[in-house]
Structure 1
């Protein structure tokens, strides 16, 4: 038996403690939880220390590898939550190539910014909703053509945090200069995730919700999607078919970009592949990381 004296704040108490008789060394369970001491200041304030729950890991889509193996094509997918472009994800073997008509969105935004008082022009509407090449070329010429126009379209992309070198000159006879701009899927998704929260861009983005029925494949099969497609043959004759757009899910709005080069090289097969990718995206809506634009102030 031992006497233990404990004093605190000038008051002492005495305790009789029985000393156990040890017959062997004490054993410590390797799996016994260890509770860290609570800081003294927390005790004095009478506040219980409650650990914060860890932030859950981002949920990501599933089954992409199976989808990629199923399709007779090179494919790629990228997505980013609206308002949080830096959290983008890219998947698939195909990642970058000619923009084709997808460049008509920043092209139209560039003219809207140059002549904002006019609002949406007939050429902007035709270039986006019908993918009219003559209308897009007219916009390019209004911007100054060549390097002057390339700089203005590049400024739109740079302003959204996605510096892209816009092609200023025709490199393939029969095709536009700007359509041969090299633009990755991930950069497209990030651009659109930012542009969706830029008030001045909204008149052009609204046109992406009015795409003609003949071009409503791929993302156009998802209810409420705003999108723009682009397509054309590579120097090897194989068609690249690509789209990007905005879709809504239970987690918020998502900017997505998809592309395919079918093994057959045919445009029709390319749109069929994008239809299948869009089906997969629709199945994954609950797992896609969505976002919202923050209101000013």
Structure 2
């Protein structure tokens, strides 16, 4: 059955099973409205909730929205946290729009997730308040109506933009509009060239354009997250996912996202994409 991404996941009137999830309509508040959808055994929603999720040790979530779509489907038990290096995508787009001469720096920041290069892009946008506003403006343009980008570092050892609280819902909305934004190909092209060592998760799917982010909380426990676009029938679909392993291990977080991405890959025929 097709994953319709409009509040129904693998819907059927034949032996339906209730699967908890959240959905939220585009243009509404970023907080999702809890709901129950019908999932058939063997569908992506069923396999995630009944097969994969119980086998993973920690919190994990998956959000999906076709390009041009208007409703997010979310599965799992994680909802929001620091953006980490995933925020380098809107940062790079903001910087390249102001000065295309930073293309090499943007390439390093995205393909290698280089923090020094990202800092150069941040500083190119002006004073911290101006830089935060510029990145936030890209988020708003991309359909994220709520995420705030801090101007100053909340943790001195980490970038200000990387500590922005970016919900999975807001992130997948941004991903679904990203290819439709002016000059976005300068960034999405880089997202298709991620370095070998960072090609976990969505990097295992053919044709994916993606960016990962990871970092520890104040107790040293890692959050590992990733978002991007994958080619499917009728266009592209945006995917965002995150893992917070109980062990706090970065490596375990990447293994968890490898498994989530592999499950998505097994159900590509259920996903209908869209175009700008």
Provide Cα deviations, 1:89-129, integer angstroms capped at 9, x if missing partner. Answer: 1221101100000000000000112124x3x5211000000
Could you say what secondary structure the match of 2:120 adopts?
helix
Residues 1:175 and 2:151 aligned together: no
1:4 match: none
Give TM-score scaled by structure 2 length: 0.82
Question: Moved runs in structure 1, 4+ residues, more than 6 A?
Answer: none
CA distance in 2 between counterparts of 1:289 and 1:147 reads: 39
1:144 match: 126
Gaps of 5+ in 2: 1-5, 11-43
Q: 1:100 aligns with which of 67, 79, 84?
A: 84
Provide Cα deviations, 1:205-252, integer angstroms capped at 9, x if missing partner. Answer: 110000000000010011111110000001221100000010112253
> Does the aligned pair in 1 maintain the 2:49–2:75 contact within 8 Å?
no
> Highest CA radius of gyration, 1 or 2?
1
Gap change, CA 1:93 and 1:194, over 3 Å in 2:
same
1:125 match: 107
Deviation at 1:198, TM superposition (A): 2.1
2:235 match: 252
CA distance in 2 between counterparts of 1:145 and 1:238 reads: 31
CA distance in 2 between counterparts of 1:292 and 1:156 reads: 19
CA distance in 2 between counterparts of 1:126 and 1:170 reads: 22
Alignment of 1:40-189 (within 5 A): 59-60=9-10, 61-62=44-45, 63-66=47-50, 67-84=52-69, 86-116=70-100, 118=101, 121-163=103-145, 164-189=147-172
Gap change, CA 1:57 and 1:214, over 3 Å in 2:
closer
CA distance in 2 between counterparts of 1:121 and 1:140 reads: 13
Residues 1:205 and 2:179 aligned together: no
> Does the aligned pair in 2 maintain the 1:59–1:288 contact within 8 Å?
no
Could you say what secondary structure the match of 1:97 adopts?
strand
CA distance in 1 between counterparts of 2:131 and 2:224 reads: 25
Provide Cα deviations, 1:52-92, integer angstroms capped at 9, x if missing partner. Answer: xxxx98554332212111111200111110122x2211221
Could you say what secondary structure the match of 1:152 adopts?
helix
Q: 2:175 aligns with which of 192, 208, 212?
A: 192
CA distance in 1 between counterparts of 2:199 and 2:235 reads: 22
More divergent stretch after superposition (181-190 vs 247-256): 247-256
CA distance in 2 between counterparts of 1:279 and 1:73 reads: 18
> Does the aligned pair in 2 maintain the 1:96–1:184 contact within 8 Å?
yes
How many residues align? The count is 235
Question: What's the C-alpha RMSD, in Å, of the aligned pairs?
Answer: 1.6
Could you say what secondary structure the match of 2:184 adopts?
helix
